[in-house]
Structure 1
Amino acid sequence: MAAAATAPAPSLDDCLKLLRADRDEQKLAGLLLATKFCQGDDTDSILKVYRAVGSRFLRRLLMTGMGKTGNEKGSEDKEVYLRLSVTVLAAFSRVPEIASLAEMIDVVPLVAEVVSKLPEQSVAEECFEFFLLIAGASEQELAKFYEPKVMDALALSISTLPADSKSLELSTGLLQLLVNKLNMDMLCTATIQGLASMVVCLAKLFCVLQNAIKFDALHMLSSLLSLKNMLLFDVLRSIPTRVWATHIRVGVTSILQNRIVSYEKLQALLLADCMMSILGEDWLLQECDVSFQKEVMPVDKFVLLILESARVEIAVLLNELAYLKYDESPKSSTSREDSILQKQRSLAIAFSLLEKFIKLISSGAEDQLMRESTIMKAISGLNETIGIVLDFLQDSKDHRERKGDDLLAAVRIIGSYLAEAPHACKDKTRHLLGYILSIEGQDESSPFYSVCFMLPMLSQITLEADGCRTLASCEGYKSVADCLLKLIELAQVTNEDTGTIVLACDTIINFLNNRKNLQVQVDTGLTKFLRVLPLWAVQSSDLSIIILASCVCALILDLTSEQVLLSQSDFDISALESLSHLFVTSLDQKIGDDDRDLLEQQKMIISGYRRWAAKYPIISRIMQQALNI
Structure 2
Amino acid sequence: MPNGIWSDNLRIGITAILQNRVAPAEKLHALILAESAISVMGEKWLINQVNSPDAREPIPANRCLLLVLESSRVEIAVLLNDMAYLKYEASKSSSFNVDSILSKQRTLAIAFSLIEKIIKLVANMGADEGELIDENTFTKVIHGLNETIGVVLEYLQDSKEHGEKKGDDLLASVRVVGSYLAETPVACKEKFQELLPFMLSIEGNDEPSPFFSVCFLLPMLCQTTMKAEGCQVLASFGGDKAVVECLIKMINTHSYKVEDTDSVFLACDTIMNLLLKKEKLPLSLKEPIYVNLLRTLACWAENSNDPTVTMMASSICSLILDHSSEEALLGYPNFNHSDLHSLCRLIVKSLASNEMDMVDEARADLDLQEIISSGFSRWSHCFPYIKGTVERELGYHM
Flag whether TM exceeds 0.5 (same fold).
yes
Contact 1:436-1:450 at 8 Å conserved across structures: yes
Say if 2:291 and 2:335, in contact at 8 Å, map to a contact too.
no
Amino acid at match of 2:389: I
8 Å contact from structure 1 (residues 524, 560) kept in 2:
no
Query: Secondary structure of 1:423's partner?
Result: coil
Report what 1:57 is aligned to. none
Match status 1:343 vs 2:104: yes
- Cα deviation digits, residues 138-177 of structure 1 (max 9, x gap): xxxxxxxxxxxxxxxxxxxxxxxxxxxxxxxxxxxxxxxx
* Segment of structure 1 superposing worse, 304-313 or 428-437: 304-313
Match of 1:301 in 2: 63
User: Aligned-pair distance for 1:241?
Assistant: 4.7
Match of 2:35 in 1: 273
Normalization by structure 1: what TM-score?
0.60
What one-letter code is carried by the residue in structure 2 that aligns with 1:595?
A: E
Counterpart Cα distance in 2 of 1:403 and 1:331: 16
2:177 to 398, 414, 425: 414
Q: 2:300 aligns with which of 531, 536, 550?
A: 536
Q: Which has the higher contact order (CA 8 A, sep 6+)?
A: 2
Secondary structure of 1:402 counterpart: coil
Give the Å deviation of 1:332: 5.7
Amino acid across the alignment from 1:568: Y
How far residue 573 of structure 1 moved from its aligned partner, in angstroms, is 2.6
Looking at structure 2, the residues matched to 473 and 331 of structure 1 have their Cα atoms a distance apart, in angstroms, of: 36
Q: Please tell me whether residue 264 in structure 1 is matched to residue 30 in structure 2.
A: no
Task: In structure 1, give the amino acid aligned to 2:204.
Answer: G
The DSSP-based 3-state class of the residue aligned with 1:504 is helix
Aligned mates of 1:245, 1:619 — CA distance in 2: 62
* Partner-residue secondary structure (3-state), 1:492: coil
* 2:154 aligned residue (378, 381, 391): 391
Question: Residue 569 of structure 1 corresponds to which residue in structure 2?
Answer: 333
Aligned residues: 390
SS at match of 1:344: helix
CA distance in 2, matches of 1:256, 1:494: 46
Q: 1:354 aligns with which of 106, 110, 115?
A: 115
Instruction: Return 507-516 or 492-501, whichever deviates more.
Output: 492-501
**Residues 434 and 540 (structure 1), Cα distance of their counterparts in 2 relative to 1, 3 Å cut:** same
Does residue 546 in structure 1 map to residue 310 in structure 2? yes
Q: How large is the RMSD of aligned CA atoms in angstroms?
A: 1.9
**TM-superposed deviation, 1:523:** 5.3
Deviations 1:422-450 (A, max 9, x none): 22211011111110000000011100100
**Aligned counterpart in structure 2 of residue 333 of structure 1, from 74, 79, 94:** 94
The answer to whether the 8 Å contact 1:490/1:496 transfers is no
In structure 2, what residue type is equivalent to 1:343? K
2:215 corresponds to which of 447, 452, 455: 452
Q: Which residue of 72, 77, 86 maps to 1:315? A: 77
Give 1:607's aligned amino acid: S
Match in the other structure for 2:205? 442
Q: Distance in 1 between matches of 2:121 and 2:257?
A: 30
Q: Is the 8 A contact 1:558 1:612 kept in 2?
A: yes
Q: Could you tell me which residue of structure 2 aligns to residue 250 of structure 1? A: 12
Please, which of 338, 342, 346 is the counterpart of residue 582 of structure 1?
346
CA apart distance, 1:330: 4.3
| 1:538 partner letter | E
What is the 5 A alignment of 1:49-198?
none
Tell me the alpha carbon deviations over residues 92-117 of structure 1, each in whole angstroms, 9 at most, x when there is no partner: xxxxxxxxxxxxxxxxxxxxxxxxxx
What secondary structure sits across from 1:625 in the alignment? helix
CA distance in structure 2 between the partners assigned to 1:263 and 1:612 by the alignment: 66
Separation (CA, whole Å) in 2 of partners of 1:548 and 1:309: 44
- Residue 502 of structure 1 aligns to a residue whose secondary structure is helix
- Tell me: CA distance 1:331–1:519, structure 2 relative to 1, closer, same or farther (3 Å): closer
Distance 1:267 1:296, change over 3 A: farther
Kept after mapping to 2: 8 A contact 1:433/1:474 = no
Q: Does 1:433 align with 2:200?
A: no
Q: Which amino acid aligns with 1:546?
A: T
Cα displacement (A) at 1:248: 0.9
Counterpart of 1:453 in 2: which secondary structure? Answer: helix
SS at match of 1:574: helix
**Which amino acid is the alignment partner of residue 296 of structure 2?**
V
Percent of residue pairs identical: 49
Q: 2 CA distance for matches of 1:456 and 1:268?
A: 31
In structure 2, list runs of 5 or more residues that go unmatched: none
Deviation at 1:297, TM superposition (A): 2.3
CA 1:628/1:376 → structure 2, altered by over 3 Å: closer, same or farther?
farther
8 Å Cα contact 1:351/1:413 also seen in 2: yes
Letter in 2 for 1:304: L
Task: Name the CA distance, whole Å, in 2 between partners of 1:621 and 1:503.
Answer: 33
Q: CA offset at residue 596 of structure 1?
A: 5.5
